[in-house]
Chains A and B, each alone.
Chain A
Amino acid sequence: MTPLLVAQIGLTLFVFVMLLNSAAVMVYVERKVAAMLQQRVGPYLVGPKGLLQPLADIIKLMFKEELRPRAADPLLFALAPIISATAAFAAFAVVPFGASTTFFGLLREPMRLQVADVNVAILVIFAISSMSVYGIVLAGWSSNSKYSLIGGLRSSAQMISYELSYALALASVLVIANSLSLSDIVNRQSGTWLGFLPRWFLFVQPLGFFIYMIAGIAETNRAPFDFPEAEQELVAGYHTEYSSMSFAMFFLAEYINMVTVSAVATDLFLGGWHGPFLPESLGWIWFLIKVAAILFFYVWMRWTLPRYRYDQLMRFGWKILLPLAVVNLLVTAAGVLYFGVQ
């Protein structure tokens, strides 16, 4: 076993555990922020300031009974949460989260802080996240319940519709960066313009960032676009019939998908691990800060905006967001042609 291999395996395990942790942290943050926005206290009984609340939640879920409706399709009912969780974990594999490092001289050559370095990284993320539709659709269908089925159908229509805008927003960044590799894209955002403005793609692609964030919220089925699980209409949507750990897997997948979308947004638009004051080797701190900021924005949106109506969502996606994304891509391409690649 070469040191590089050991480091790679260690990194993979580390990312896996950190993704699990991030879901737990997000549960706590979501409840605390919701409480703050609603002028409540939020969880405070378990541990100091309620910090152990996620642990209590997990224990509660683990000890619940695993239920399955008699009319459900047994194989697909068991498979659906696994597909969701697997797709969520796998998508993060190609996201770089820090500059190349030798781990304080332990390795001979520097290694990228990334589980898998693929030169078509963005497309891989896109491909894997398009697989996560199946988890939700199959959960809806195999439960054999009308609420689940409607939730599943809604989610597949919603995710396919917003995937287009999502992809076009990504494409305009690719045109500017002239690369498909996420590490290359991040490295193109180092340095500053005019001495103070960081060279983030956010400032050349404000519309792209806007479209990406909206489509990202729709892709992860978060409020105000949480139709697949709109509780006032559909009980709980596609996971109505799920309990215990299989429900926990859907829950986990939703939070990990949020983390992935935020991490990709950070890499594409916010300069990844580049930032002032910190040396390159500590860039992951900047990365974490930026991801945390976007995640906070997500939670903030959820507890501030009311849910749309379903036809409004579809009309917005197809008639406003998609044309905007197309125009944005055209203008970007024209700009790159005119000014040349930076």
Chain B
Amino acid sequence: MTPTLNDYLVLSAILFAIGTAGVFVRRNLITILLSIEIMLNAVNLTFIAFGRALGAVDGQIIVFFVMTVAAAEAAVGLAIVIGLFRHRESLNPDSFSTLKW
């Protein structure tokens, strides 16, 4: 039984939801960034699966762009995390509420 496009899309949907849950549920900046990576990868899987289904190269190319964005996001995000940690010695997003009411 060969997997169909739909199977890949379902897998991707599940991974995306796991990433979303991670962002909502976890209270650790690093794990939240990791969850965002899971979501980006779920989207990558969709692109590749559609590219394969359409026999086009574009799906794979967009994945490269997504990877670049992910790398940039990780670099800036982690730099912010380091900066925040220096101020509060905590990775909990709830403890950075100085500018919030």
| A/B contact in complex, CB under 8 angstroms | no
Interface residues, chain A, CB within 8 Å of chain B?
none
